[in-house]
Structure 1
Amino acid sequence: MKDLSISLLTICGLDEIEQHGSRGVTHVLSILDPDWPEPEGFRAYDRHHRTTLHFHDIIQPAPGRILPQPAHVEAVLEFGDKLAGEASADEGHLLVHCHMGVSRSTAAMATLLAQLHADADEDAIFSHLRDIRPQIWPNSLMIGYADDLLGRGGRMTAALRRLYAQQLERRPEYARYMSEIGRAREVDMAGAA
């Protein structure tokens, strides 16, 4: 198991970036839509290590949209390798963001936690994420790739189904919203939990 000595984990959306500028963020994983400009909120940050990935928050092909690919999740894992080597326990603060801080960023944070804590239970990983960001709905395609790349044998995907079911109990409006944005398959996954 790799050692991660980050003392603080944050997940947020674009409109929240600036408010974390004074919180000692040392490492940032940005996940943005293609051609989206770098967020101006980072100007308020002290020196930090940042990696930016560009793809859309979708789970099936769509014209003119970039689907998350295994290479994107591999890049998240490369970020995790660097993070494990650079972070210091006293000052480490990891911020992962996407546009809303709900789907791509939470899938990336789940991937990092599963990578850096190889023995951690998958349900515990998602529970920890929900403590950090209650509105989570991780991108299922990204979680599927992470499950494969980390050799978790389908356990991350099974835990994701259970998380979706829990989230739908807490936030029933997610069923309609996810269906409207082309992610009804994830709502259906909750029924298979």
Structure 2
Amino acid sequence: MRHESPRVTVSGVHDLPELSEVDAVISIADPGDGRPVVVETLGAPVLELTFHDADGDLLDWVPETWHVERVQRFLQQFQPAWLHVHCFAGMSRSTAMASAALACLVPELSDEEVVASILRERPHATPNKLLLEAIDLVLERCLEDAWRREQRY
């Protein structure tokens, strides 16, 4: 019997898919923003993360390694077969964090395979560089390099 790999999907708040069958959600928002109503009504566990789509500006709440560690713990606890990750636009924070989640859920995937999977899901992905740096530190991966080779930032 073939074991199915976990499904990781990505969206923004304006193109959230039907999530009634999802096992878990990572909801990324700007400070002060709430999660979308459709996410609030889910019966699935939701991990809320709050930070800006930061480029290092002094006023930004930047993504940090502890955000990635929270994702690791969340995934270990719930081990979802279908994880959905969203941020406001579904392009930067969510695609970076979806990369981390897929690397955690299927650690045997190479960095290039993780990137290819996320690009199939979100072809216009431009993952947040600061978040990728934090992910690589925690997971001891080279996802930032793999994304750079795809000329995504």
The verdict on how the C-alpha distance between 1:70 and 1:43 changes in structure 2, with shifts beyond 3 A counting, is closer
1:5 Cα deviation (Å)?
5.4
Partner of residue 22 from structure 2, selected from 21, 25, 48: 25
Q: Identify which of 45, 63, 72 aligns with 2:67.
A: 72
Q: CA RMSD in A?
A: 2.0
Q: What amino acid is aligned across from residue 41 of structure 1 in structure 2?
A: V
Task: Return the alpha-carbon distance in structure 2 between the equivalents of residues 139 and 147 of structure 1.
Answer: 12
Equivalent of 2:146 in 145, 156, 159: 159
Q: CA deviation at 1:116?
A: 2.3
After TM superposition, the score normalised by the length of structure 2 is 0.88
Residue correspondence of structure 1 range 1-193 to structure 2 within 5 A: 6=6, 8-17=7-16, 19-22=17-20, 24-42=21-39, 45=42, 47-63=43-59, 65-84=60-79, 87=80, 92-152=81-141, 155-163=142-150, 165=151, 167=152, 186=153
In 1: Cα distance, 2:106 partner to 2:22 partner = 21
Shift of 1:83: 3.1
Which of structure 1's runs of 4+ aligned residues deviate more than 6 A? none
Cα deviations across residues 61-88 of structure 1 (Å, max 9, x unaligned)? 332x21111111211222222232xx3x
Once residues 68 and 19 of structure 2 are traced to their aligned partners in structure 1, the CA distance between those partners, rounded to angstroms, is 26
Q: Distance in 1 between matches of 2:123 and 2:84?
A: 16
Q: How far 1:44 sits from its partner (Å)?
A: 5.4
Do the aligned residues in 1 keep the contact of 2:8 with 2:102 (CA within 8 Å)?
no
The structure showing larger relative contact order (alpha-carbon pairs under 8 Å, at least 6 residues apart) is 2
Equivalent pairs, count: 151
Could you list the runs of 5+ residues in structure 1 that have no partner in the other structure? 168-185, 187-193
SS at match of 1:20: coil
Considering fraction of residues, name the structure with more helix: 1
- Structure 2 letter corresponding to 1:68: P
- Alpha-carbon offset, residue 150 of structure 1: 1.2
Q: Alpha carbons of 1:4 and 1:69: their partners in 2 closer, same or farther (altered >3 Å)?
A: farther
Using a 3 Å threshold, how does the CA distance of structure 1 residues 66 and 94 change in structure 2: closer, same or farther?
A: same
Equivalent position amino acid for 1:55 in 2: F
Q: CA 1:106–1:81 in structure 2 vs 1: closer, same or farther (change >3 Å)?
A: same
Query: Deviations along 1:132-158, whole A, 9 cap, x unmatched?
Result: 111111111111111111122xx2221
Cα separation, partners in 2 of 1:4 and 1:113, compared to 1, 3 Å: farther
Q: Percent identity?
A: 30
Q: Is the 8 A contact 2:63 2:134 kept in 1?
A: no
SS at match of 1:42: helix
Could you tell me which amino acid in structure 2 is paired with residue 11 of structure 1?
V
The code of the aligned residue for 2:148 comes to R
